[in-house]
A and B are shown apart, each in its own frame.
Chain A
Amino acid sequence: MWSKAGAASASSGCDPLAVIRKLLVANRGEIASRVMRTARSMGITTVAVFSDADAGAQFVSDADEAVRLPGVLPADTYLRVDLIVEAASRTGADAVHPGYGFLSEHAGFARACADAGLTFVGPSARVIELMGSKVEAKRIMAEAGVPVLPSAPADDLEAAIATVGFPMLVKAAYGGGGRGMRIARDADELSAGVEAAQREAAAAFGDGTVFIERLVEAPRHVEVQVFGDLHGTVIHLFERECSIQRRHQKVIEESPSPAVDARLRDELTQAAVVAAKAIGYVNAGTVEFVLDPDGRFWFLEVNTRLQVEHPVTELITGLDLVELQLRVAQGEPLGGDALDATMRGHAIEARLYAEDTSAGYLPTSGRIDRLRVELTEGVRVDAGYADGATVSTYYDAMLAKVIAWGPRREIAAQRLAAALVHAEIHGPATNRDLLVAVLHHPEFLTGATDTAFLERHQLGAGASEPRTEHLHALAASIAASQSRRTRSPLPPGIPARWRNVGPAGQPVAYSVGDEHIIVDGLHVEGLSGAVRIVALRPGHDSFTVDLEIDGYRLPCRVHLVGDLAYVDSALGATTLRELPRFPVPELEVAAGSLLAPMPGTVARVAVTVGEHVHAGHVLVTLEAMKMEHAIRAPHDGVVNEVRVSAGDQTETGTVLVVVDTTGDTVS
């Protein structure tokens, strides 16, 4: 063993390996789980850090040890350099993987790790810092001969027009996400745009510096995965295309890019390697380019971390990028598998978000009762949520990445679409239908994508057919009926709803969106046709109901959680809520009068006429039999009348106070 280690050290011609034995993952969700999976396979012990909101999260139980970061906001938890470094020292971790987002591109964090003697799995603090400034990064790249878009500072607009030319893009120097950005097609738009962008950038990023850049029309977002080791080797692992974006966030990514041929690939990847070498890049990084319809490309920026979309590269190269990251961080040189990497087939990734696509991609939250994607041929799922977990509003609402590989692009697209269609996603609304619509879109299938694809095509949750909802409601009702069987004291062979006099009349109402569907036995209001249950199979926590209606057979999978029924079938997915059989009657306290519950003496009157009170607000205190009884407002409202004052004797039923619900009379 000893001689082997010595040999490795000698062959690398470098310092002895900084072998990682315990790795702290300074991140959460799917990427934390993803990193730990590889670490564990390499024999590395893993440590998670978690906020209070993530105390029960999957990635925490995936780790061997975990350290709590008190609080829920990122600023109090995952962005706290000091707490994370402290967690590493508490647990004896010797390395830190930052994942993506949070502190992954935070030079100060990389430096703090280094100072604490921790191996930071990523590039050096210096590189992170250099690439953090877009202006500085562009300058370095331009010097190294990498094509960059002509740009100019915003202080001299005349000069800027001369160097850049229209159309232009005004951009914040320290920012992203589309904020502090303006398009200008003439001088007037330019001056207005600069002012607006400065204002927005100052508000959003605390620095109003903007610069001007050539605008590329119908651009595509193409990036190259690069890898550098401590021994000066820099390689690329081909390109990825991430043009399908919504609000400047990638939704669908793939590799290779359908817009890149072999010649362009050579140019792009060489430019990326040149760019990485120019800054002495170590570990995994991504060089982003903008590609125009004529095949011209310009450098955008370097992402000094593992990308969300790294799995597509893994699927076409067969490499484990996290393993490469960890090996490089240990000081190992990039091995033959990486140096001789080749592309095989095509991979596409879809980001499944908890969001309401029709409401401007508004994030949704709530409990995920089930998230199950079948791992069919070529399909991979990187998920961050276990069944029963809650999507909180504190962090990114990405539920999972579903990735499909195929020997050809259209096969990968079809596999991915099928995996999404058949997935059981039981919980808050997601962008699943949007993803499927993109993957099925002819324009996408021809590869004609650019960053405006989703703005151009109003895709999304097409309203599902009423017939689908009716059939799904029927399946839900049948499954619910089956689930109730065990609660009956009668022998199971007695038919449900059996009557010797006339048919049973026990309608069940479901709500689907704003619609109500009434099911009574096998009859669904608005659904005609002879229905038959072909098969009914109870599963572990769900049911398969095979319906037949006029000879058409449809197997439905039904998952019941409380009053919710999630139904999946070939026709789609429906979430139904069973309405209560006995609606709780509205609280109607007769005309808002509060009556004395017993004879007594008024000890205190705490309100005056006209006062606004909330439900639970103490109005009057009665004293009776040596005890004080608080008379509280039963609802929000305005005190309309006070009939008693302190010292008054009351009988049972004496009206004490009248609280008006509407507050119309006193306003």
Chain B
Amino acid sequence: MGVLTSSVDHIDATYLENRRAMLALLAAHEEQLEIVRGGGGPRYVDRHRARGKLTARERVELLLDRDSPFLELSPLAAWGTQFHVGGSIVTGIGVVSGIECVVIAHDPTVRGGTMNPLTLKKNLRALEIARINRLPVVNLVESGGADLPTQADLFVPAGQIFHDLTQLSALGIPTVALVFGNSTAGGAYVPGMCDHAVLVDQRAKVFLGGPPLVKMATGEESDDEELGGAAMHSRVSGLSDYFARDEHDCIRIGREIVADLNWRKLGPGPIGGPASVPDEPMCDPDELLGIASVDLRVPFDPRDVLARVVDGSRFDEYKPTYGTSLVTGWASIHGFPVGVLANARGVLFMEEAKKATEFILLANQIDTPLVFLQNCTGYMVGRDYEQAGIIKDGAKMINAVTNSVVPHLTVIMGASYGAGNYGMCGRAYGPRFLFAWPNSKMAVMGPQQLAGVLSIVARQSAAGEGRPFDEEADAVRRAAVEEQIERESHAFFNSGKVYDDGIIDPRDTRTVLGMALSAVHSNVVEGRRGFGVFRM
């Protein structure tokens, strides 16, 4: 196999500027994560602890095996919205009793763990990741239910949580609910829909209607414990399979339940079996900080990235001299074989689109997951290209990406504009995981281009109507639009909308992809068959 030799000049001005800017972005990211980790803030966390309760993150830490890594998903959910960054819920993938699971934990220190539209989006994404990757789900439940002021945007779609939980069960993917506190009204269906439920004594409250509602509905006098306490559900209703004496006991029982799942991963697993230790890249991942462009107009060579991500920096490039604006080839990450598609010079031409299509078909032939490294400004425009059928070639690539069934993993390491986002397996194309570097930007096009397009359209419209064109107003409008698009294409903004599964430190790319690939191998790893590989 070919080994990428990649050296960077540590005193190069661009390298240093990239590095400085990336570190600043990472610091800003870390600042947000600090807020996320703090849950509802010291006041609410202290009050929660004073009640003898563990925080959501402490519950997760206890649930995970000792030393287990934890790939937290959508940590910046709700960033830039009226809601608390993090979305009042913690989701991620970690190892419980030797089994990779999706963990979903309500954070009761943020508005009582109530669910808002972004909480829902984050929760559903975690359930989706569990479903498409066949990962057991453990819910750590303590939620006040719907964030009532937002019910209009929440109530109807929220039904999907229960739908998805029972769908997982039907697919043979185990679901566990560990109930530490409130799980009322709609929330009561979480333990109700899960295969296994454990309720904590004196803490868990699982009922459709609490005492006031019951009083209003039927006039019956009742208390929390008899309506939905752990003792009642464990001895009378049978909703609870296990009665936990306290939170630790509950987590201990939850771990035993997972241990008893007799879970087997279905993927072939890494080359050389689980015991072999794949070699690290030959180049230092720290250098990724200076390699990735912060000014997205400056392209960078994705081979320099691959040299710092893949095993032993080994990379066998496919069609290296054809369609050179897109790099394709074979490598392995933590022992998992992958096919890589990475943008080299932003634009996709006809050759790149056809090369990508063939490569995706080849990966499906050999059941190999694909990694998309996006730094793409879109498909080429212009008379010659339109006439040569760039739409048809782009369509081939989008067709291939859509109908490929090997696992796709996407990392946005720079630009993600236009149909390039689609062709390179953006969110709408169902990648198993999608992560973004903090310097990345995602929008229909670049801010200047978008503002410029709007300006041209406005100018044409004025000309058409015979009105004079107000250049001054146009300049103001252009600046405003540019500013808006700049803001809306920011990585944090898109992460806040749960358009990715999280922003990652470029240096962690190898680890994140390794965990994602391992998760992916919980399910079968198989390509689509039927036609042969079309030579485009």
Of residues B36, B67, B270, which shows the largest number of chain A Cβ atoms within 10 Å of its Cβ?
Answer: B67
- B277 CB contact (under 8 Å) in A493, A496, A497, A499: A493
The reply to whether B64 and A582 form a contact with Cβ atoms under 8 Å apart is no
Q: How many residues of A contact B (CB 8 A)?
A: 31
A489 close to B (CB within 8 Å): yes
Taken together as a complex, chains A and B put the C-alpha atoms of A626 and B217 apart, in Å, by: 44
From the candidates A487, A497, A583, A585, name the one contacting B69 in the complex (CB within 8 A): A497
Q: Tell me which residues across on chain B come within 8 A of A486, comparing CB atoms.
A: 275
Interface of chain B residues 19 through 40 with chain A (CB within 8 A): 33-34, 36-37
User: What sequence of 0s and 1s flags, for each residue 488-507 of chain A, a beta carbon within 8 Å of any chain B beta carbon?
Assistant: 11111111111111101110
A contact residues around B334 at 8 Å (CB): 491, 493-494
Partner of B61, one of A484, A489, A493, A505: A505
Identify B511's interface contact among A494, A501, A581, CB under 8 A. Answer: A494
Taken together as a complex, chains A and B put the C-alpha atoms of A487 and B68 apart, in Å, by: 10
Contact B33 A494 (CB under 8 A): no
Judged by a CB distance under 8 angstroms, whether A55 is at the interface is no
Decide: B95 and A488 in contact? CB cutoff 8 A.
Answer: yes
Those of A100-123 within 8 Å (CB) of chain B:
none
Of B70-78, B338-346, B390-398, B426-434, the stretch lying at the interface with chain A is: B70-78
Residue of A491, A492, A581 contacting most chain B CB atoms (<10 Å): A491
CB distance from B61 to the nearest CB of A (A): 5
Residues of A within 8 A of B380 (CB): none
A489 to B33, CA, bound (A): 27
Provide the bound-state CA to CA distance between A338 and B64, in Å: 69
Distance A500 CA – B251 CA, assembled complex (angstroms): 23
A490-B518, A505-B58 given as contacts; is B69 within 8 A of A495 (CB)? yes
Q: How far is the CA of A486 from the CA of B248 in the complex (A)?
A: 26
Q: A496 and B67 in contact (CB under 8 A), knowing A487-B98, A488-B95, A583-B248?
A: yes
**Interfacial chain A residues near B245, Cβ < 8 Å:** 585, 588
Supposing A490-B515, A494-B515 touch, asked if A581 and B504 sit within 8 A by C-beta, the answer is no
Q: Are the C-beta atoms of A488 and B335 separated by less than 8 Å?
A: no
Count contacts on B: residues with CB < 8 A to the other chain.
49
The answer to whether the Cβ of A508 comes within 8 Å of any Cβ in the partner chain is: yes
- Distance, CA A508 to CA B33, complexed state (A): 25
Who on chain A is nearest to B510 by CB? A493
Chain A residue nearest in CB terms to B521? A489
Contact A490 B72 (CB under 8 A): no
Assess the A496–B69 pair: CB atoms within 8 A. yes
In residues 269-284 of chain B, which contact A (Cβ within 8 Å)? Answer: 270, 274-275, 277-278, 280
Tell which of A489, A499, A508, A582 touches B95, judged by Cβ atoms closer than 8 Å.
A489
Q: In the complex, are the beta carbons of B33 and A502 less than 8 A apart?
A: yes
Q: How far is the CB of A347 from chain B (nearest CB, A)?
A: 48
Q: Are B98 and A488 in contact (CB under 8 A)?
A: yes
Q: How far is the CA of A26 from the CA of B235 in the complex (A)?
A: 63
Chain B residue numbers with a CB within 8 Å of A489 are: 95, 98-100, 265, 274, 518
Inter-chain CA distance A498–B518, complex, in Å, is 15
Q: In the bound complex, do residue B514 and residue A494 qualify as a contact, i.e. CB atoms below 8 Å apart?
A: yes
**Would you give the 0/1 interface string for A562-594, flagging 1 where the beta carbon is closer than 8 Å to chain B?**
000000000000000000011101001000000
* A489-B68 Cα distance, complex, nearest whole Å: 10
What CA separation (Å) do A493 and B274 show in the bound complex? Answer: 11
Per-residue CB contact flags for chain B residues 503-536 toward chain A (1 = under 8 Å, else 0) read 0110010011011001000000000000000000
**Cross-chain contact A585 with B246 (CB below 8 angstroms):** yes
What CA separation (Å) do A495 and B285 show in the bound complex? 14
Is A89 positioned at the interface, with any CB of B under 8 Å from its CB?
no
- Checking B67, B235, B335, B508 against A506 with a beta-carbon cut-off of 8 angstroms, the contacting residue is B67
A500 proximity list for chain B (CB < 8 A): 70-72, 75, 502, 504-505, 508, 512
Query: How far, in angstroms, from A488 to B277 measured CA to CA in the complex?
Result: 13
Inside 8 A of A163's CB, which chain B residues have their CB?
Answer: none
CB-based contact A491/B64 at 8 Å:
no
Q: A581, B75: Cβ atoms under 8 Å?
A: no
Assembly CA distance A493 to B64 (angstroms):
18
Most buried by B among A481, A506, A653: A506
A484-B66 contact given A491-B334, A585-B245, CB 8 Å threshold: yes
Closest Cβ of chain B to A580, distance in Å, is 9
Pick from B62, B72, B99, B235: contact of A653, CB below 8 A. B235
Q: How far does the alpha carbon of A581 sit from the alpha carbon of B64 in the complex, in Å?
A: 11
Closest to A486 in B: B275
- Nearest CB of chain A from residue B245's CB, rounded to whole Å: 4
Q: Does B49 contact A (CB under 8 A)?
A: no
In the docked arrangement, what's the CA distance between A501 and B73, Å?
Answer: 9
B411 vs chain A, min Cβ distance (A): 13
Encoded as 1 (CB less than 8 Å from any B CB) or 0, chain A from 626 to 667 comes to 000000000000000000000000000100000000000000
List chain B residues, Cβ under 8 A from A484: 65-67
CB neighbours of B58 from chain A (8 A): 505
Residue pair B66, A506 in contact (C-beta under 8 Å): yes
CB of B246 within 8 A of CB of A488, answer no
Give min CB distance, A189 to chain B, whole Å: 64
Q: Chain B: which residue is nearest A652 at the CB level?
A: B235
Q: Are B70 and A499 in contact (CB under 8 A)?
A: yes
Within residues 86 to 142 of chain B, which ones have a CB less than 8 A from any CB in chain A?
Answer: 95, 98-100
Contact with B along A372-402 (1 / 0, CB 8 A): 0000000000000000000000000000000
Query: What is the distance, in angstroms, from B29's C-beta to the closest C-beta of chain A?
Result: 10
- Given contacts A501-B72, A506-B61, A581-B66, is CB(A490)–CB(B100) below 8 Å? yes
B195 at the A/B interface (Cβ < 8 Å)?
no
Q: Write out, one digit per residue, whether chain B residues 134-173 have a CB within 8 A of any chain A CB (1) or not (0).
A: 0000000000000000000000000000000000000000
What is the bound-complex CA distance between A643 and B70, given in angstroms?
53
The answer to the question of B486 belonging to the interface, with a C-beta cut-off of 8 Å to chain A, is: no
Instruction: Check A491/B33 contact, CB under 8 A, given A500-B72, A582-B248.
Output: no
Inter-chain contacts of B270 with A (CB < 8 A): 491
* Interface bits A138-159 vs B (CB < 8 Å: 1, else 0): 0000000000000000000000
**Closest chain B residue to A481 by CB distance?**
B67
B249 within 8 A of A: yes
Q: How far is the CA of A583 from the CA of B249 in the complex (A)?
A: 8
Question: In chain A, residues 236-271, which have Cβ atoms closer than 8 Å to a Cβ of chain B?
Answer: none
Find out whether the CB atom of B69 lies under 8 angstroms from the CB atom of A490.
Answer: yes
Chain B residue with the shortest CB-CB distance to A595: B235
Residue interface bits A283-300, CB-to-B below 8 A is 1, else 0: 000000000000000000
| Contact residue among B66, B69, B275, B514 (Cβ-Cβ distance under 8 Å from A499) | B69
**Structural contact, B95 and A581, CB atoms closer than 8 A:** no
Check if B252 is an interface residue, CB within 8 A of chain A: yes
Q: Which residues of A contact B99 (CB under 8 A)?
A: 489
Closest A residue to B58 using CB positions: A505
B57 beta carbon closer than 8 Å to chain A: yes
B336 neighbours in A (Cβ, 8 Å): 491
With A489-B100, A489-B518 known as contacts, the answer to whether A497 contacts B57 (CB < 8 A) is no
Specify which chain B residues have a CB less than 8 angstroms from the CB of A505 in the assembled complex.
57-58, 61
For residue A496, which residues in chain B have a CB less than 8 angstroms away from its CB? 67-69
Q: Which chain A residues border B67 with CB–CB below 8 Å?
A: 481, 484-485, 488, 496-497, 506
The answer to whether B278 and A491 touch across the interface, beta carbons within 8 angstroms, is: yes
What CA separation (Å) do A486 and B245 show in the bound complex?
32
- Are B69 and A498 neighbours in the complex by a CB distance under 8 Å? yes
Residue of A nearest to B508 (CB): A500
Contact at B75–A501, with CB atoms within 8 Å?
yes
Q: Which 9 A-B pairs have the closest CB atoms?
A: A498-B69, A491-B334, A582-B252, A496-B67, A585-B245, A501-B72, A502-B37, A501-B75, A492-B277
16 A-B residue pairings within 8 Å (CB atoms): A488-B68, A491-B514, A493-B280, A493-B514, A494-B334, A495-B69, A496-B68, A501-B33, A501-B37, A502-B34, A506-B61, A506-B62, A508-B66, A581-B62, A582-B252, A588-B245
11 more CB-based (< 8 A) A-B contacts, given A490-B100, A499-B69, A500-B508: A480-B66, A490-B518, A493-B278, A494-B334, A495-B511, A501-B33, A504-B70, A506-B61, A582-B252, A583-B248, A585-B245
Which residues of A are at the interface with B, using a C-beta cutoff of 8 A? 480-481, 484-502, 504-506, 508, 581-583, 585, 588, 653
